[in-house]
Structure 1
């Protein structure tokens, strides 16, 4: 059995959840795909998939094996690319992940410029507000907000983000400006999920204020819209209200009481040498992000 080919087939079945679809993608017969996976399971000594007449789902062992297969196949591709010289010219597909709103506002414009500069590269974005495993998701580059755990990845700091309290000028004209965190108890609040999931708003000096929001929003954008319309105050990350600040629709209060800002990093897996598609993106993205005044 060709172990490398068997791993490729296994990964494709895991991605498509279909033996027939995998066969079409790989120009094979469905029975050949089934036999290959069965032989791989015999070799490993564990079931990789649970098969029914309607679906193909991975087992727990299959999930663990998938991450290893993707890493091994990536190492093989890296070795071949190095030998073939493609590390000198950006080619292939660049997979990029970032928090949803940050990705749309600040990463996507860079991706578009990057693709215009390197037409031989394709890009795939995954902008989600959840932690992902870069290896399992096949991400080449990740933008992360917050303090990073120890890992074998290369991390480049590109900025920092403040957690701010803000409101519309007309709201402050009618209700006054809070001068201390304790004053927030006397103000109306529109809180996004990330805020009202924990009713305590924390400030410098270990100050805490329990907030009872008048409006609970399941997205940051909704809470920001409510604040822009003069409904009340909200608390979000600084970059999320950048356009509203520039337009004068929102203003920040209690700046002297803010907690230390959260670092922003570009993260990519270490290897013998990063492929050209990754190095070119990092070279373009780092100065752009560092020059963004909303991120520093």
Structure 2
């Protein structure tokens, strides 16, 4: 049995969702696909997929073997490119995960640069404020904000961010500028529910952490909406510093209460490092580390 070919057949069946679709992708007769999958399971001594007339689902062993198979085939392809002098030419699909706003504002420009440099690379960008499992979801690189659990993955810190309080110059001219967190009791606030409570905000001071009651005239569920509302003079808002970086640069928002800001959170590029990384991953990491370090310094 050609185990490399068997792995490729297994991956195609998983990706396409059926034996017949995998056969069309591989230009291989359906009986051959079925036989190769059966031979692979017999060789391993485990069932990789549960098959019924309606669907195919991976077993626990199948999920583990799928991850390993993808990694092995990537390394084989990388070795072949190295042998023919193509080591510096990245290719293949690169899967990147990032938080919604951060990904849109800061990761997309990195991807644009990568695509302009590498004609043989395709990128799938997954934007979500929930943390994906890199191994289970076949993600090459994830941008993570905050402390990282001990996962066995490799992390490269590219900067730090913190929560900031801000308002428009016009709002402050009309309502005054708060000097301490307790002054917020007399102001109208715009709350981004993904970051703060609409009833009270926490601050760090000489006496430790305190919660200050606020009046949320507007509550929104995205940082974009909170920044837009504050820029439109609707009140004081609280977001992550990078989410309002362009408004600070344009002076359409003013950063407030800086001495009460919490300890910054790290921003990391997270990836599995089990040997030599594919060229596509190395190129993205190099571009992302440089650009993100620059934009995060600018937002401090």
TM range, smaller chain: 0.7 to 0.9
C-alpha distance after superposition, 1:177-204 (max 9, x if no partner): 2222223333332222313568653322
Partner residue in 2 for 1:132: 132
When the two structures are superposed, what TM-score results if normalisation uses the length of structure 2? 0.84
Pick one of 243, 247, 251 that aligns with 2:246. Answer: 243
SS at match of 2:238: strand
When the two structures are superposed, what TM-score results if normalisation uses the length of structure 1? 0.85
* 2:250 paired with 1:280: no
C-alpha distance after superposition, 1:34-78 (max 9, x if no partner): 343344445555544444444333344433443333333334444
Partner residue in 1 for 2:218: 215
* 2:156 paired with 1:156: yes
Query: Taking structure 1 as reference, are residues 276 and 72 closer, same or farther at Cα in structure 2, changes over 3 Å only?
Result: closer
C-alpha separation between the residues in 1 aligned to 2:192 and 2:18? 39
* Higher helix residue share: 1
Contact 2:115 2:121 in 1 (8 A): yes
Partner residue in 1 for 2:21: 21
Contact 1:91 1:121 in 2 (8 A): yes
CA RMSD of aligned residues (A): 2.8
Contact 2:198 2:216 in 1 (8 A): no
How much does 1:259 deviate?
0.6
How much does 1:105 deviate?
0.9
How much does 1:235 deviate?
1.2
Q: Identify unmatched segments of 5+ residues in structure 2.
A: none
SS at match of 1:132: coil
C-alpha separation between the residues in 2 aligned to 1:179 and 1:206? 17
Partner residue in 2 for 1:63: 63
- Taking the TM superposition and a 5 Å limit, the aligned residue runs for 1:252-291 are 252-291=255-294
Q: Identify unmatched segments of 5+ residues in structure 1.
A: none
- Taking the TM superposition and a 5 Å limit, the aligned residue runs for 1:44-123 are 44=44, 46-123=46-123
Number of equivalenced pairs:
296
